[in-house]
Amino acid sequence: MTAQLSSGTAACPGCIATPAEPARPIPEDVQIALSLPGIHCSACIANVERELNAHPGVEDARVNLTLKRAMIKAAPETRAADLIPVLERAGYEAHELDPGALSATQADKAGRDLLMRLAVAGFASMNVMLLSVSVWSGATDATRDMFHWISAAIALPAIAFSGQPFFANAWSALRVRRLNMDVPIVLAILLALVTSLWETALSGKHAYFDAALTLTFFLLAGRYLDYRTRAAARSAAEELTALEVPRAIRLVDGVEQEVSVTSLAVGDLVLVRPGGRMPVDGQIVSGTSELDRSLLTGETLPIFAEAGLVVSAGEVNLTGPLTIRATAVGEDTSLHRMADLVAIAESGRSRYTSLADKAAKLYAPGVHILSALSFVGWYIYSGDVRTALNIAAAVLIITCPCALGLAVPAVTTAASGRLFRKGMLIKHATALERLAEVDTVVFDKTGTLTSGTPELTNLGDHSRADLEVALALAEASSHPLSVSLAKSARDAGIKPARVEDVVEVPGYGTEGTYRGQLVRLGRAGWTGGDEGNQTAAWLAIAGQTPAAFLFADSLRPGAAEAVHAFRDAGKEVILISGDTKGAVQALAGKLGIETWISEALPQDKAAHVQALSDKGRHVLMVGDGLNDTAALAAAHVSISPASALDAARVASDIVLLGNDLSPIADACDTAVKATKRIRENFRIATVYNIIAVPLAVAGLATPLIAALAMSTSSITVSLNALRLR
């Protein structure tokens, strides 16, 4: 794993045989993980595995279609950069994943543990049910007693093993003198076992071993569903994190070394290539370039960078290579300092109580009182502890929240699955419930409503000759403005002029010789143009006044639809951006957003969201940048696109996987429906209790009635949840 970090940067298969520089000796093989978003069939699996296994150095490659991922075991000097082109030639999109960030998913111990307990409870309950059915259908005397004893022998160890999650939860609640859903569950299971044992010992008629086991089984099924939903979201979120492999190029005595970001120290010289992101806070030592700060501040205009400028982790270098000296690394960088703001904002949100907790608060004391009252009542009436205890146990078992335990997880699983297919990842357990309450939507501009790529707006204002020269110059650079200019010009059918000696001057633009004259395309100050507040590239041809190519940030697909859908649904839409007034106003006008705030600092954004919450609004915040992080955490519920910074994704409840924004409005709909289903499920469970509880209190409930009531209510609740798919 470390070997792939240590070698040089060349990316050709030939370099495997002769590494560009001596790698540190690593004896064992490396694990490489690749994300393959495009694979979908058996032919894809076979092709990818064949291509990878044919590659020298690869020892074993295995595709996981469920996770759309390939795990590769390879010789130490093999690097992912060599394997990706192999797959891309075969027609498969591939991205490297950081195996370190994925490790948590592979060792899915908690899920496996829960599944094992579920299986034991399931098998045990089936066996006990078989014996119980014989008792219900008329086994008597010694046969019945023997069946009860065998049931006890199965039920006691099975519950001791599979009921552990409930025992642990109930104990941790009782220790701090609180009641949760697990306390009545544990009490019901234990009381059922104790009275059944007692009855069996006295060769009584009714034993509830089957009820105790089915109860455990259904409740574990609910837990497992809940766990799976969140594990799927967590593993997808981890994959997003793992896509940004944290590497940097460290300069040691002028020699480049590719190292992991965590191993950088203060004072190290770090080389950042064009297109790369600053791994640390620092100061530029040499090089000139332009920096894109939009993820940190929301500004779309790139800033000029030269030696002496202080840079922050997360900024993107656009044109020329920069060498920076690290002044803060890891946890001390401005990126991570933002976490403090997030922690403060988040403390406000944790006060939300989920529907399940609200139900448990009403329910737990209710059933305890009811069961205690029936015990006391029957004891006074009959004077027999055994009868009274039997009835109290029956009341607890019948009211036990089988259906309640399934009511929420079944619905959230169905709803999350549906949203996942639409490209949304529900990270937080109560995110759907909170999303359903939203009445105000706050959008960030750069990178959220806009895609962060510039679009040429005034192509028609220029003469064909100018455009031909501009295209020739633009094609020599990978600056976002040049790329966009070149694309628009090509689309308009422009052919590049013959410009000679084209060179890129990092931080300024490109220049060349056209018909013996110097021509330049670049910053206003360098070409003689006027610095305005709109993003522009200037074309200077000797003897002509410089011509401006104006750019606007292009709208993200689905942005207009999402905004309209929210407005149609009667929600207030607000735009808060760190960008300049002109740019924000233009976009707000274009989308029909009436309330907008420009030049907002990160603290301002969070304060605005907080102010809205204080007025009783339920705010949905949609944002992607570091400057949105605090606001994302302060909002009632938050969404960030997959392109957002890691910090922003961590702070938000829902991640939008695709490029399109329109599923957001859909998600609100689904959330409202899901909450409705959850409430319906609670009502169904209550109706069953209303019918069955009087029977239990009256002493008429038999184990058969308990088993029927429990199973039918659980199954109805699950079926009702499935209607959401």
Partner 1 sequence: MEVLAYLIPISLFLGGVGLMAFVYTVRSNQYDDPEGDARRILSDEWDDKPKP
Q: Which of 26, 67, 197, 251 binds partner 1 (CB under 8 A)?
A: 67
How far apart are alpha carbons 250 and 599 in whole angstroms? 35
Tokens of 584: 């924000």
| CB atoms inside a 10 Å sphere around CB 695 | 17
Q: Which stretch binds partner 1 (CB under 8 A): 121-129, 174-182, 639-647, 666-674?
A: 121-129
User: In terms of CB distance, is 104 or 601 closer to partner 1?
Assistant: 104
Asked if 66 touches partner 1 (CB under 8 A), the answer is yes
User: CB-wise, 130 or 252, nearer to partner 1?
Assistant: 130
Q: Which is nearer to partner 1, 723 or 725 (CB)?
A: 725
Residues 6+ apart with CB under 8 A from 248: 258, 259, 260, 261, 264, 270, 272, 279, 280
- Token pair, residue 107, equals 């060792």
* 560 near partner 1, rule: CB under 8 A: no
- The amino acid at residue 266 is V
- Residue 421 makes contact with partner 1 by CB under 8 A: no
The helix or strand, by DSSP H or E, that contains position 85, with its residue range, turns out to be helix 80-89
Distance CA 195, CA 213 (A): 14
Quick one: which of 127, 169, 387, 610 contacts partner 1 (CB under 8 A)? 127
- With respect to partner 1, which residue has the nearer C-beta, 52 or 248? 52
**Angle of helix 464-474 relative to helix 480-491, nearest 10 degrees?**
130
- Which of 724, 710, 720, 716 lies closest to 218 in space, CA to CA? 710
Shortest Å, Cβ 46 to partner 1? 5
Angle at 360 between CA 355 and CA 364, to 5 degrees: 165
Segment lying near partner 1 (by CB under 8 A), choices 14-22, 115-123, 171-179, 582-590: 115-123
Q: Are 375 and 678 in contact (CB under 8 A)?
A: no
Q: How far is the CB of 30 from partner 1 (least distance, A)?
A: 17
Comparing CB distances to partner 1, the nearer of 115 and 174 is 115
Q: Are β-strands 619-622 and 95-97 bridged in parallel, bridged antiparallel, or unpaired?
A: unpaired
Q: Does 545 bind partner 1 (CB under 8 A)?
A: no
| Separation of alpha carbons 603 and 625, rounded Å | 13
> Rounded to an integer, what distance in angstroms lies between the CA atom of residue 211 and that of residue 125?
8
Specify whether the CB–CB gap between 659 and 676 falls below 8 A: no
Q: Which is nearer to partner 1, 90 or 560 (CB)?
A: 90
Backbone angles phi, psi at 327, to 5 degrees: -110, -20
Among the listed residues 444, 466, 579, 624, the single catalytic one is 444
Copy the structure tokens of residue 707: 């088993």
Distance CA 540, CA 554 (A): 26
CB of 435 to partner 1, least distance (A): 28
DSSP state for residue 643 in the 8-state scheme: T
Taking CB under 8 A as the binding criterion, the range among 19-27, 119-127, 219-227, 534-542 that sits at the site for partner 1 is 119-127
Site stretch for partner 1 (CB under 8 A), options 120-128, 349-357, 463-471, 679-687: 120-128
Closer residue to partner 1, CB minimum distance, 233 or 397: 233
Q: Is 42 in the site for partner 1 (CB under 8 A)?
A: yes
Residue 60 in contact with partner 1, rule: CB under 8 A = yes
Q: Which of 38, 56, 85, 112 binds partner 1 (CB under 8 A)?
A: 112
How far apart are CB 64 and partner 1 at their closest, in Å? 4
46 binds partner 1 (CB under 8 A): yes
228 touching partner 1, by CB under 8 A: no
Q: Determine if 65 is a binding residue for partner 1 (CB under 8 A).
A: yes
- Which of 86, 123, 231, 303 is close enough to bind partner 1 by CB under 8 A? 123
Tell me the closest approach of the beta carbon of residue 116 to partner 1, in angstroms. 6
| Euclidean distance between the first and the last CA atom of the chain, given in angstroms as a whole number | 41
List the one residue from 81, 126, 303, 597 that touches partner 1 (CB under 8 A).
Answer: 126
* Residue 207 burial by Cβ neighbours in a 10 Å radius (0-12, 13-18, 19+): buried
> Which positions ≥6 away from 388 have C-beta within 8 Å?
374, 375, 376, 378, 379, 382
Record the tokens describing residue 613, joined without a space: 């919450």
In angstroms, rounded to a whole number, what is the distance separating the alpha carbons of residues 650 and 675?
Answer: 24
Query: Which long-range contacts (C-beta less than 8 Å, at least 24 apart) are formed by 591-598?
Result: 591/449, 591/555, 591/559, 591/560, 591/563, 592/563, 592/564, 592/567, 593/443, 593/563
How near is the Cβ of 42 to partner 1 at its closest, in Å? 4
Q: Which residue has tokens 């393959």?
A: 36
Nearer to partner 1, 4 or 105 (CB): 105
Q: CB 119 → partner 1: shortest distance, Å?
A: 5
Provide the Cα torsion 31, 81, 505, 542; round to 10°: -150
Smaller CB distance to partner 1: residue 77 or 226? 226
Q: C-beta of 264: minimal distance to partner 1 in Å? A: 35
State how far the Cα of 631 lies from the Cα of 346, in Å rounded to an integer. 10
Q: Which is nearer to partner 1, 102 or 668 (CB)?
A: 102
Helix ranges, 512-573 (H): 524-527, 559-568
Give one DSSP letter per residue of 188-234, joined into a string. Answer: HHHHHHHHHHHHHHTT-S---HHHHHHHHHHHHHHHHHHHHHHHHHH
Q: Which is nearer to partner 1, 61 or 342 (CB)?
A: 61
Q: Segment near partner 1 (CB under 8 A), from 60-68, 540-548, 562-570, 616-624? A: 60-68
Task: Work out whether 107 is an interface residue with partner 1 (CB under 8 A).
Answer: no
Nearer CB in complex with partner 1: 123/379? 123
| Smallest distance, partner 1 to C-beta of residue 100, A | 20
Q: Which residues is 218 bridged to in the sheet?
A: none
Judged by CB under 8 A, the residue of 130, 194, 343, 722 near partner 1 is: 130
In the range 132-191, which residues lie near partner 1 by CB under 8 A? Answer: 143, 150, 154
- The side-by-side arrangement of strands in the sheet containing 316-317 is 303-305, 289-292, 316-317
CB of 89 or CB of 109, closer to partner 1: 109
Binder of partner 1 out of 10, 115, 231, 704 (CB under 8 A): 115
**CA dihedral sign, ordered 209, 214, 220, 222:** negative
Can residue 248 be called a binding residue for partner 1 (CB under 8 A)? no
Token duo for residue 381: 């009436």
- Asked if 45 interacts with partner 1 (CB under 8 A), we say yes
CB of 164 to partner 1, least distance (A): 16
Q: How far is the CB of 418 from partner 1 (least distance, A)?
A: 18
Distance separating alpha carbons of residues 401 and 410, to the nearest angstrom: 14
- Per CB under 8 A, the list member of 20, 116, 343, 373 interacting with partner 1 is 116
Q: Which residue has the tokens 């908690």?
A: 110
- Catalytic, 444? Answer yes
Piece of the chain touching partner 1 by CB under 8 A; list 111-119, 391-399, 401-409, 548-556: 111-119
Does the footprint of partner 1 cover residue 104 (CB under 8 A)?
no
Chain centroid to Cα 483, Å, comes to 31
Alpha helices for 107-208 (secondary structure H): 109-136, 141-162, 164-175, 182-201
41 near partner 1 (CB under 8 A):
yes
Closest contact distance (angstroms) between CB of 413 and partner 1 is: 16
Number of residues that bind partner 1 (CB under 8 A): 26
SS3 569: coil
Q: Which two tokens stand for residue 28?
A: 């064992």
Q: For residues 496 and 470, what is the distance between their CA atoms, to the nearest angstrom? A: 8
Q: How far is the CB of 106 from partner 1 (least distance, A)?
A: 9
Segment contacting partner 1 (CB under 8 A): 123-131, 400-408, 456-464, 690-698? 123-131
Q: Does the protein bind partner 1 through residue 344 (CB under 8 A)?
A: no
> Which residues in this chain contact partner 1 in the complex, by CB under 8 A?
41-43, 45-46, 49-50, 60, 62-67, 112, 115-116, 119-120, 123, 126-127, 130, 143, 150, 154
Residues involved in catalysis: 444
